[in-house]
Structure 1
Amino acid sequence: MRSQATGSAAARVTAIRLLLLLVLAVLAARAGQLSTVNPDAVDQGNRQIHTRIKIPGARGLILDRAHRALAISVEAPSVYAFPQLIENPQKVAKNLGDILSLDPTALKKRITSRSGFTYLGRWVEPEQAEAIRALDLPGIGIEYEPRRTYPTGPMAGPIVGFADIDGKGVRGVEQMMDRWLSGEPRTVAVERDARGRVLSSDSVDPRQTAGGDITLTIDAGLQAQAEALLTEAVEASEALGGVVICIEPSTGDILSLAEAPGFDPNHFRHIAYSKTRSRAFVDAMEPGSTFKAFLVAAALEADVIRPETEIDTGDGWVRVPGKTIRDHHPYGVLDPAGVLRFSSNVGAVWIAQRLGAEAQHASLLRFGFSQSTGSGFPQESNGILRDWRAWKPVDQATVAFGQGLNVTPIQLAMAMAALGNDGIRMKPRLVAAQRAPRGEWETLPIRKAGRAIRPETSRTLLKMMQSVVSSEGTGRQAALAGVQVAGKTGTAQVLDQETGAYSQDRYIAWFAGLAPAENPQIAIVVALDQPMGKHHTGGAVAAPLFAKVAAAQLAHQGIMTKPEPIPSIKVPIWVAVQERINARKHAEKEATLDRSPRAAKKPMQIARSRRTRRLRPANRHVAAPQPARNTGLPPVAAPPPTQRRVGPALGNETASRIELASVLVPDFRGQSLKDARRIAHQEALEVHIHGSGSGRVVGQAPAAGTIVMGEDRVIILSFSVHQEEG
C-alpha cells in the first residue's frame, strides 16, 4: 500500500513538473515573439505616429518698376485630416462645417471616403484655424502653406495673372514666369499621437525654398491712372469693355496696360477662367481704319506714292469685283495725308491697287501682324491674316482699311511703336529685371524684332499722321496742348457670328497714336468694345481717351506740365508705397519745427485718439500710388532678398488710432516679441499681436517696405508657436 501511495505521489510531482515546464515554454515563446522585431509592424507604427506633408514652395515677388508689390506670398493656415484616426466622423464634420461654413454632409463624405492624408480647407482664416485647433479633434490638424496674395487687388489683374491653390501660375505673368517664380516644394514632418493630434512640426523657414523675384516694366501709379480713365470712358460710352496700351517705342517696354472689365486675382476661385484672360494679348479683332497708316507706310516704302501724290476719290465710292466701297463723304482729290486725315476708304483702295497684293501683305508681315510679338505672354494670339495668294480683289481692298483680318491690341501697339522708332519694331518687354533667391538683380535685355520701314519713311509718315489730329481730322479730339500728336482713328464693324455679316450697329472704336510726334516717347493704342452711347466712332470715343492717358504719361516724363486732371483711384492702404527718401524728408521736416536741445533729445511723440476702430485691410483705401519718377531699372533702393512674405491675412483687429508722418515698415520676421516692440518703438509704430506672442515673428501686415502714415501706423505681427522665445 505504501509502495502504491509513493508511486502515485511521484506521478503527481512529475505531472506538475511537466505542466510547469510547459507553462514556462509557452511564456518563453511569447517573450521571444515579443522581443523579435517585426518590420511590417514597426513600419505600420511609424506610419501611424509620423507622416510627411508636401508643402509648395513660396513664390517669388512680382514688383512694379518702382519695386511696389504686385504679388507676394503669405503663410496661410490650411486644415487637414487623417480620416482613419477620426473617431466620430459625423460629429467632426458638424463641428468643422460650423466653423468653415461648409456643408457637413459633404465634409463627412470626404472624411469617410479617404483613408490617408487629405485637405479639408485650404487658406482658411486665422480665426477659423484657432477655433479648430481649440477643439483638439483627433485626426484633424492645421498646417501653414504659402498663399499667393495680390496687394493691389484688381489693378493689372489680367497682366499679373494668378497662381492656383497649389502654387502654379495659370494666367498672365504668373504663368509666363512660372518656372522662375516657383519655389522648391518642402516636406514637413509632422509627429502625432495615436489619436492623430499634432504634437510638433518641423520649423522650416519658407524663405529658404522661395522662388526668384521679378520687376515689371509697368508703373503702378500710371497703371492705376490708365485703368481709371478707361473705366470712365467705358461707362460714358456704354461700351462692353476696352483696352489701353502704352509702349515706349525705343525699348518696347509696356509702361501701362489697362483692361476693362478686369478681375481681382485674389478671388480667382470665384471667377470663370475665360474672364481672367488678357484681351490685349489673347483677343484678336478687326483694326478698322487704323490700318490705313500701315498701308501708306508700305506705299511710301515701295515708292508707289509720294507725299504730293494726287489721289482722286471721285464721288466717294469705288467698285471692286463683289463690292462697292464708299466714303462717308465725297472728298474729291486728296494727297496721302488727306487719305489719312479724312480716313478715306476709296483713297485706301486706290493706294492698295497700285501697291499690289504681294507687297501689301509682305509689309504687314514686317510690321508684325499674323505672328506672335515675341512677348512670351501665355496664349498670345497670332491674329488672322490670310496669305495674299488666297486674296480676291475685294479682299485686298478691304484689308487696306482694316477689314477682313484680325489683330491683337498688342500687335497694333507694337506696330505703331515701330513708326515712332525710325521703323524698327521692338519685341514687347513686360519683365524688366529678375533676381534669383539671395541673388542680385539682373536687367533683362531689350530685343529688336526687325525693321519694318526705313527711318525716312517713318518720319514722312508721322508728319502725315499729324494731320489726323488737326482741327479738320477725324482724330482732332486726341490733340494735346503744346505737344504734337501723330495718330489714326478706326471704327471697325463687328462681324455677327450667327449671320456671318457685319453688324450695322456694333463697332470697335480705335485710336492709335504717338507723342510727341517729332520725337515719340510713347505709343498708345485705345480700343473700346461696342460703345452703345450717342457716339461710337474711334474719333469720338477712343481719341479723347488717348488724350487723357497720353497727358498723364507725358507729364510723368516731364514733357507736359499741365496734364488732364486724373480721377483718384482707391486701392488697399498698404499698396500706397512711396519712395523712401520722400518719407524720410517729410519726417525730417517735421522734426525741424522744434529745434530746441530738449526737443532734439526727446523721442518723437505719438498723438493717439481715445477712440478705437476696427481694422479691415480689404475695405480701407487711400489714393492710388503716385507714378514713380524715372529712376532706372532696377531701382537703387531695392528691398533685400529676405523680404519675401508677410503673415497670413488677418481678420478684424482692434487698434488705436494714430496720427503721424509716414514711416517705412521694417522687416520684423525672426524677431522675438521684445525685439519687435523695440524696433517698432524706434520707428514710432504700434504693434498688435496676433496669437500668443510667443516664439519668433513669422508674419506681418503690412509687408516690410510698405509706407504707412497717420492712423495706419499699426503693425500686426503673428508668432511661431513651436519655438522658444529668445
Structure 2
Amino acid sequence: FVGLGVRATHLSLFEVRGAERSRAQGVASMAIPAARGSVFDRNGAALALSVRAPSVYAHPALIQDVDAAAARLAPVLNRAAPRIRERLARAGGFVFLARWVSEETSRRVAALSIPGVGITEEPRRRYPLGELAAQVLGFSNIDGDGVRGVERLEDTWLRGERQTVAVERDAKRRALAPGRLAPELGTGGDIALTLDAGTQAHVERALERVVERSRARAGIAVLIDPRTGDILALAERPTFNPNRFRDVPFRATRARAWADALEPGSTLKPFLVAAAIEGGVISEESEIDCGKGRYRLPGKTLRDARAMGVLSIADVLRFSSNIGAAKIGFALGAEQHHASLRAFGFGEKTGSGLPGESAGLLRDWRDWRAVDHATISFGHGVSVTALQLASAMGALAHDGVWREPRLVAARKRDDGSWREEVPGLSRRSTSPEAASAVAAMLEAAVGPGGTGASAAVAGAAIAGKTGTAQKFDAKLGRYADDRHLAWFAGTARVEDHQLVGVVMLDEPKGRAHTGGAIAAPLFAEIIEREFLRRGYAAGAREATGVAATDVGEPTPGDAG
C-alpha cells in the first residue's frame, strides 16, 4: 500500500465541559473529543479526514441577560432569537449554540465578547474527493458517530477515545492553558480500503453518462477481483456529497448496491445451468426443445420473443430463452435448484458486515408452485443485490469458489505500520468443471448474435449474461410493461488479470432499455478503461454486430 505511511495530521480538538461552577478563578476540566481515523484507498489517496471546525458554545449560568445575549447572537448565527433564548434558558452547564460554523462567524461571535459565550474547536469529518464513493464511505454525524457506509462499518476502529485534562480558568471562566496532552492516544485508527480511487472515478463517470443519456431513475456499477473478493469500485447514481449530508434525505444516502434487492432477470440463468451440469441432469451436449416460443403451465403460459425450436444449452444462454431455462429448472428440481442458489450466495447476506445489507429474497423451495419455479429459473420472483450478483459471478470466474466481498484492505497499527486484512471467507459454489463449462457458454453469449455482444472488448476475454427484468407494479398487482431493470453481469480477463463487473440501470427510457442494448456497452466501457489504466492493450471494442434481443425477457408480464 504505497503512500499509506504518510498519514494526515490529526489535531486535538477541544470541547469545553462544565465542572463545578465557581465565580472565582479555578480549575475545570476539558474533554478532548477524538479525531476519527483517516480512510484511504488502496494506493494511499485520502478519502476521509478529520479537520478542525469552530463551534459556538455557552454556559447559561454565567449569562446575566439571556434576552440581550440572544438578540446579539441571532444575526451572527443566522438563527431566530427565540430559538437561541430557549437554549440559553436551560438550567445547567455547557450547551452548543451552533456547530461547525465558518471562520468568519467564529470571529464575529468572539468579537461580541459576551460573558459565558465562547468558541471551541471540535472534529469535523471532511471528504476531500466530494461525491466520490459517497455510498461506500457513508458519513459520520455531527457528534462523530459513523452512521452510513464504511464510517458505520468501521466506527469502533475509527472513532478513538476522548481525553480529559485540567484547564485553568480566570474569573470569567475563560480557558487559560490546558494541561499536558497526548493527542495521539485519543485519535482513532486509520484504514485502507480495497477501492481504487482512479478506478472508482472512471466507473462513476461512465455510469453517470449512461444514466443521463438513458434518462434512467438510477444506476449501479460494481467491479470486484474474484480471487480475493476485493471491491475495486462501487458506483451509484444518483449520489450525494457526504460533506453536506444534512442536506440530503437519510434514505437517499444508503448504498443501494448492497441495500436494495432487485429482480435480476436472465443474469440468474448461468447459476441454474452450472447447478444442472454439476447435478448431472444436463451436459454441455444436451439440447432443450423450446418449441414455438410458448410453454403452457397450469394457469399460465410462458413466452419467448420468437420460436427457437431445439437449442443447445449454450444457446439457451446465448439467446436468453426463458422456456429453455424453465425446462432446465424443472429437470434440476426445486429443492436442488434452491440449494444451488444459496450456494452462490443468494437469499443470505454476504457475511461482510456491511451496514444495512439486504439478504435479498429467495423463498423456501417448498412454497414454489410450478410457475414460481419457472420464473425463478429466469430471474423473476427472486431478488438479489448487485453485490450478491457480482460475488456469484466471481465464483464462476474463480473455478467455482465463492469469496466473501472485502472492503477493508488494511489497518494501521499503533507503531505506524500497516497490517493487511486477510481475504474473507470462501466456499465452493459449484465444481470447477461446471464453472468452466458455463464460463465458455457465457463467452459465446457475448459473441456475434448473442444478447451480450455489445459487451465484447478487443484484446480481452469477456464472458457474461444480460438481463432485462420487468418491474413489479404493486398497485396494479402485475409486472409493468414499460418499466425495466437492465442488467449485465460478466467477467473479463487479460493475461492473469481478471475482473468481475455488474451494471444495472433502473427504468431506462426509450427503445434501448434492455440489458443487451444499454448495460452491456456500459460494462465494456468500464472494462476497456480499467485494463488501459493497468497498461494492457484492451483497446477499442470489437465490432461483433448488433446484439440479439433479450428474447426471453417479455415473459414475466405474461406469466404474472
- Report the TM-score, using the length of structure 1 for normalisation: 0.70
| Cα separation, partners in 2 of 1:47 and 1:118, compared to 1, 3 Å | farther
Structure 1 residue 303: deviation in Å?
Answer: 1.6
User: Which of 344, 357, 364 is the aligned partner of 1:387?
Assistant: 364
Query: What SS does the corresponding residue of 2:347 show, helix, strand or coil?
Result: coil
Describe the superposition over 1:101-129 as per-residue Cα deviations: whole angstroms up to 9, x where unpaired: 22222111111134311011111112221
Query: What SS does the corresponding residue of 1:148 show, helix, strand or coil?
Result: strand
1:163 to 2:162 alignment: no
Describe the superposition over 1:502-531 as per-residue Cα deviations: whole angstroms up to 9, x where unpaired: 111111100000012896600000011111
Percent identity between the two aligned chains: 49
Query: What SS does the corresponding residue of 1:439 show, helix, strand or coil?
Result: coil
Give me the CA root mean square deviation.
1.9
Question: Whose RCO is larger (CA < 8 A, sep 6+)?
Answer: 2
- 1:504 counterpart residue number: 481
- 1:268 counterpart residue number: 245
1:250 to 2:224 alignment: no
Query: What SS does the corresponding residue of 1:119 show, helix, strand or coil?
Result: strand
The whole-number CA distance in structure 1 between the counterparts of 2:494 and 2:316 is 19
The whole-number CA distance in structure 1 between the counterparts of 2:518 and 2:20 is 72
Query: What SS does the corresponding residue of 2:274 show, helix, strand or coil?
Result: helix
The whole-number CA distance in structure 2 between the counterparts of 1:166 and 1:232 is 36
The 5 A counterparts of 1:32-431 are: 45=22, 49-202=26-179, 204=181, 206-431=183-408
- 1:535 counterpart residue number: 512
| Cα separation, partners in 2 of 1:385 and 1:415, compared to 1, 3 Å | same
The whole-number CA distance in structure 1 between the counterparts of 2:538 and 2:328 is 40
One-letter code of the match for 1:559? Y
One-letter code of the match for 1:362? A
| Cα separation, partners in 2 of 1:161 and 1:563, compared to 1, 3 Å | farther
- 1:478 counterpart residue number: 455
| Cα separation, partners in 2 of 1:47 and 1:287, compared to 1, 3 Å | farther
The whole-number CA distance in structure 1 between the counterparts of 2:38 and 2:154 is 11
User: Is the 8 Å Cα contact of residues 50 and 192 (structure 1) preserved in structure 2?
Assistant: yes
Structure 1 residue 368: deviation in Å?
Answer: 0.6
Structure 1 residue 155: deviation in Å?
Answer: 0.5
- 2:10 counterpart residue number: none
| Cα separation, partners in 2 of 1:155 and 1:302, compared to 1, 3 Å | same
| Cα separation, partners in 2 of 1:524 and 1:168, compared to 1, 3 Å | same
User: Is the 8 Å Cα contact of residues 284 and 407 (structure 1) preserved in structure 2?
Assistant: yes
User: Is the 8 Å Cα contact of residues 421 and 520 (structure 1) preserved in structure 2?
Assistant: no
Structure 1 residue 191: deviation in Å?
Answer: 4.1
The whole-number CA distance in structure 1 between the counterparts of 2:292 and 2:217 is 36
Structure 1 residue 201: deviation in Å?
Answer: 4.1
User: Which of 425, 433, 439 is the aligned partner of 2:410?
Assistant: 433
User: Is the 8 Å Cα contact of residues 466 and 517 (structure 1) preserved in structure 2?
Assistant: no
The whole-number CA distance in structure 2 between the counterparts of 1:392 and 1:520 is 43
The whole-number CA distance in structure 1 between the counterparts of 2:30 and 2:519 is 53
User: Is the 8 Å Cα contact of residues 478 and 546 (structure 1) preserved in structure 2?
Assistant: yes
Structure 1 residue 202: deviation in Å?
Answer: 4.5
- 2:3 counterpart residue number: none
The 5 A counterparts of 1:586-605 are: none
The range that moved more, 211-220 or 92-101, is: 92-101
One-letter code of the match for 2:203? A
Aligned length: 523
Structure 1 residue 423: deviation in Å?
Answer: 0.3
The range that moved more, 188-197 or 88-97, is: 188-197
Structure 1 residue 344: deviation in Å?
Answer: 0.3
The whole-number CA distance in structure 2 between the counterparts of 1:516 and 1:536 is 27
1:465 to 2:442 alignment: yes
> Which structure: larger Rg?
1
User: Is the 8 Å Cα contact of residues 20 and 28 (structure 2) preserved in structure 1?
Assistant: no
- 1:634 counterpart residue number: none
- Report the TM-score, using the length of structure 2 for normalisation: 0.90
The 5 A counterparts of 1:505-584 are: 505-516=482-493, 521-562=498-539
| Cα separation, partners in 2 of 1:44 and 1:542, compared to 1, 3 Å | closer
User: Is the 8 Å Cα contact of residues 140 and 196 (structure 1) preserved in structure 2?
Assistant: no
The whole-number CA distance in structure 2 between the counterparts of 1:518 and 1:458 is 19
| Cα separation, partners in 2 of 1:397 and 1:230, compared to 1, 3 Å | same
